[in-house]
Amino acid sequence: MKIAIMGAGLSGLACALTLEKNGLTPTVFDNRRCVGDRFVNGEILLPMLEQSFSDPLVRLSEVYGIYLQPTNNITALTLHSENKTAQLTGQLGFINLRGRVETSFESQLARQLKTKILFNSTYDYTALLKEFTHIILAVGDFRYTEEIQRVKSSLTVTLKGATVAGNFNQREVAAWLDNTIAPKGYCYLIPFSGKEANITLAYPEYPEAKELNQNKLWDRYFERVCKDTRQNLRITDQFEIHHYRMGISDMPRIGNTFFVGNCLGTMMPALGFGQLPSMLSGIYAAQDLLGQLNYQQTAKSLYQSYHHSMTLRKFLESLNNANLDTLVSLAGTPLANRLLNNRRISLLKIISRLLTPLFG
């Protein structure tokens, strides 16, 4: 068996680590200069919105032998709508970094890998098919997937973000659900440290979005963040992405080609994060190659997570600002806080099942 992994992101590295721990050495290719060769941004892991409501970092370490240190744990999530604010408290999840920094999740995975990564690779999928028995497609998008199979596209998104300097509670994240700032989208603030944070504006590129002025939305959002954090934040770095695509492929495996990460469709549409599903897809593909489990079966949970998350997103997109005010008010009640901290239930699954008749 001769295995090639195309891409050294979360899914590709998780796959390589799992193979390596079980005695197989893949060849890992990446067309970038180094692991995480991109802008730095913050992400959150919220177990309440995962298919299995448990501690994801405990699961990765104890079940799969993959060890990750978050930037911090989350003890408070502040939700803002146009006119309401609510705060959820408890052990809500984790903050992690991505990109060109030593503490990013992909950098941590790469340090655990003994196999050499071949950077600046010019190999393409067709060329690798001639030299390897099995290919893991982990390039981070659908460009190869679409040549091989159908991809169901759910939406494309515009994102604009920045690193800002200020004073932050390192364990508190914030989100804004306000159509005057992010129509049918959301904004968030994720601290990197006590002095730096990532702020991001994201909204879907539906036909009506053509009339939107992104710069005006950003100015409005930045003014709102400064107001709600009660400080004059200073922008130190920025990034901008257009036409970022969310969707899911028909099949996780075709012949001896495995689709993992964003080649499969592990970006969860509700909040736009997908760290855990991405890594799990790589692990599951490796387990199939090792003869332990069938990827067609294990990937079913990833497809379910995607569809649950898409249902939640459709619901949120259907709400006007008055509805969002009501939602945020409800989220601030003691009952909501107890539900969000109840680790015996999967809140995402429950919400999705309730909403599927209308939005599924």
Q: What is the pLDDT of residues 231-244, one digit of tens each?
A: 999 999 999 999 99
The per-residue b/e assignment along 217-239, b for 16 or more CB within 10 angstroms, e otherwise, is: bbebbbebbeeebeeebeeeeeb
User: Is the pLDDT at 68 greater than 90, yes or no?
Assistant: yes
Cβ(297)–Cβ(50) under 8 Å? no
Question: Which residues have CB under 8 Å from 235's CB, separation 6+?
Answer: 162, 163, 164, 222
The answer to whether residue 57 scores a pLDDT higher than 90 is: yes
Percent of the chain with pLDDT over 70: 97
Pairwise CA distance, residues 360 & 346, whole Å: 18
Is residue 344 pLDDT above 80, yes or no? no
* Confidence (pLDDT) at 47: 85
Residue 97: name the closest of 186, 35, 159 by CA: 35
pLDDT band with cut points at 50, 70 and 90 for residue 271:
confident
φ/ψ of 191, rounded to 5, equals: -75, 140
The CATH number that applies at residue 191 is 3.50.50.60
Q: Give residue 52's pLDDT band: very low, low, confident or very high (50, 70, 90).
A: low
Split into its structural domains, the chain has a count of 1
Return the pLDDT at 358: 65
Instruction: Count the Cβ atoms, other than its own, within 10 Å of residue 171.
Output: 16
Average pLDDT, integer, range 333-347? 78
Predicted confidence at residue 339, as pLDDT, reads: 78
- Res 355 pLDDT > 90: no
What average pLDDT does range 178-185 have in this prediction?
Answer: 98
pLDDT for the residue 188: 98
Helix (H) / strand (E) containing 315: helix 300-317
| Residue 353 confidence class, pLDDT cut points 50, 70, 90 | confident
Q: How far is CA 287 from the centre of its chain?
A: 22
pTM value > 0.75: yes
CA angle 261, 266, 268 (to 5 degrees): 150
The whole-angstrom separation of Cα 265 and Cα 151 is 9
What is the arrangement of strands in the sheet containing 85-98, beginning at the earlier edge strand? 41-45, 85-98, 72-80, 172-176, 186-191, 196-204, 151-165, 234-249
pLDDT band at 34 (very low <50, low <70, confident <90, very high): very high
Whether 360 shows a pLDDT value over 70: the answer reads no
218-224 contact pairs (CB < 8 A, 24+): 218/160, 220/180, 220/181, 221/176, 221/181, 221/182, 221/187, 222/162, 224/80, 224/176, 224/178, 224/181, 224/187
Average pLDDT rounded to a whole number, residues 138-161: 95
Domain ranges, residue 64: 3-359
pLDDT greater than 60 at residue 53: no
List of E strands, 48-150: 72-80, 85-98, 117-118, 134-137
